[in-house]
């Protein structure tokens, strides 16, 4: 079946509007489920495990008398 024929954009292959599948609610529901799952996982990380992706250097107490080893001067 050719792609650019009239009525080839729906699975039934018919040109009347009454026999077409209504796909809008299905895609909307699928997208909303995906968004809600993403927000659920994000909120679990933010509220229950905020240090999950943190770096261990963040827990070293600050010492104003010494420069951290990760800070090095640029030599030209």
Active site residues: 4, 8, 30-31, 74
Q: Do the beta carbons of residue 7 and residue 13 sit within 8 Å?
A: yes
- Render 18-51 in DSSP notation, one character per residue: GGS---HHHHHHHHHHHHHHHHHHHHHHHHH-TT
């Amino acid at each position: 079946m050719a792609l650019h024929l009239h009525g080839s954009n729906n699975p039934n292959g018919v040109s009347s509007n009454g026999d077409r599948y209504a796909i809008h609610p299905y895609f909307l529901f699928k997208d909303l489920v995906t968004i809600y799952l993403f927000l659920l996982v994000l909120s679990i990380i933010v509220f229950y495990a905020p240090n999950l992706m943190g770096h261990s250097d963040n827990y070293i107490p600050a010492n104003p008398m010494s420069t951290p080893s990760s800070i090095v001067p640029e030599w030209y």
